[in-house]
């Protein structure tokens, strides 16, 4: 026997008052007494703008009330594809190759951005380091940058206006990746040429040895942007070159040449650019000539002396979220954009001033 709630049963006269006001009060009373969740019609209208990152599979509201609020006639629009490529579709910016000798070559391959490290590259670096750590055939790691430059540091776009939580997460991920590189049981060599600043210098310091060109530029300019190094570089500079050198580089923001960096012990040796490959190969040969187990044990013994800057992650996250820090980084990005626009305008003017001459018969 159907109940009074069955769609086929006649509705009793008391179920729906005829007056609109009474009907509204009746619906509100039934909604309050019902244990089931309210219908979409009864839910309050959200005052927030819908998120643009909604999954394409998320259902759109089909209630009449929402359709009447939309501008223009209601229409069904296909979901927009995501604008950010997936990890599989994104270009590979960190590559790993292991040669027949067991030398793992880690290359930062983002030359158009002077190999600036965005967080996808940091994560890829961490994955490659884990691969190296699990491969018993690897005896040595060589880290270098593509395009004649090592690394221009962290990508400022990732640090322009992060929340404290995001900045702390990015600090932790970078520190973990560089820490894993430093903790490898095999030696690592950074090939420093061109620019090696900020996070790039921190990456180089995570390696056991550093071979640089005389003209390379190394430094920690983060304070000028309102940031602090957060990927372990400050403590490693103290370990390698001493507290005085770390103070000078961090507080002054000065960029020193590769030749000067060798004098400060920041790099193992500095050579002319034409002799860089030969110098790196000589270091590799010496390391490969040693007994692998002895090398691993030596690294283990030395690891006990490595220090850590207390609260480095928390300090970096705090400074990255300051309004003054965000303003400095935004100013940096604006100046870079203006420089690119000026360069493009100059190129366009040059083409206008020197049009291509088309000779008869080649039109």
Q: Give me the active site residues, please.
A: 202, 222
| 226 conformational bin, left if phi > 0, alpha if psi -120 to 50, beta if neither | left
Place of tokens 């005829």: 18
Distance separating alpha carbons of residues 354 and 363, to the nearest angstrom: 18
Query: What are the φ/ψ torsions at residue 35 (nearest 5 degrees)?
Result: -90, -10
Identify which of 186, 170, 200, 179 has the alpha carbon closest to the alpha carbon of residue 135. 186
Identify which of 245, 227, 221, 225 has the alpha carbon closest to the alpha carbon of residue 235. 245
Continuous segment of H or E residues that includes residue 332? helix 323-353
Q: Are strands 188-192 and 140-145 parallel, antiparallel or unpaired?
A: parallel
**Angle made by CA atoms 294, 297, 299, in degrees to the nearest 5:** 110
Say if residues 209 and 189 touch (Cβ distance below 8 Å).
Answer: yes
Identify which of 18, 1, 20, 17 has the alpha carbon closest to the alpha carbon of residue 9. 1
Distance separating alpha carbons of residues 200 and 218, to the nearest angstrom: 9
Distance separating alpha carbons of residues 262 and 223, to the nearest angstrom: 23
């Amino acid at each position: 026997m159907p109940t009074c709630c069955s769609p086929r049963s006649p509705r009793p006269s008391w179920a729906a008052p005829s007056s609109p006001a009474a009907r509204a009060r009746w619906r509100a009373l039934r909604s309050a007494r019902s244990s089931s969740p309210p219908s979409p019609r009864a839910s309050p209208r959200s005052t927030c703008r819908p998120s643009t990152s909604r999954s394409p599979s998320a259902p759109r509201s089909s209630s009449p009330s929402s359709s009447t609020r939309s501008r223009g006639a209601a229409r069904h629009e296909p979901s927009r594809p995501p604008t950010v490529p997936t990890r599989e579709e994104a270009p590979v910016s960190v590559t790993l190759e292991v040669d027949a000798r067991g030398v793992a070559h880690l290359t930062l391959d983002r030359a158009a951005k002077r190999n600036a490290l965005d967080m996808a590259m940091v994560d890829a670096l961490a994955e490659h380091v884990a691969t190296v750590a699990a491969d018993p055939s690897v005896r040595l790691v060589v880290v270098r940058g593509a395009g004649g430059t090592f690394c221009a540091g962290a990508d400022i776009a990732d640090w322009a206006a992060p929340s404290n939580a995001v900045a702390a997460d990015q600090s932790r991920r970078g520190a973990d990746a560089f820490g894993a590189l430093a903790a490898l049981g095999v030696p690592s060599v950074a090939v420093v040429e061109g620019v090696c600043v900020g996070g790039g210098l921190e990456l180089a310091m995570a390696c056991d040895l550093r071979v640089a060109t005389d003209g390379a530029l190394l430094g920690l300019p983060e304070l000028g942007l309102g940031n602090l190094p957060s990927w372990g570089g400050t403590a490693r500079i103290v370990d390698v070159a001493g507290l005085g050198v770390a103070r000078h580089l961090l507080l002054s923001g000065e960029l020193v040449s590769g030749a000067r960096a060798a004098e400060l012990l920041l790099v193992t040796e500095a050579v002319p650019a034409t002799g860089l490959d030969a110098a790196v190969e000589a270091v590799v040969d010496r390391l490969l000539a040693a007994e692998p187990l002895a090398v691993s044990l030596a690294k283990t013994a030395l690891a006990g002396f490595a220090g850590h800057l207390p609260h480095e992650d928390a300090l970096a996250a705090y400074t990255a979220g300051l309004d003054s820090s965000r303003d400095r980084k935004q100013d940096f990005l604006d100046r870079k954009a203006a420089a690119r626009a000026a360069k493009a305008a100059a190129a366009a003017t040059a083409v206008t001033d020197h049009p291509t001459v088309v000779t008869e018969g080649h039109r």
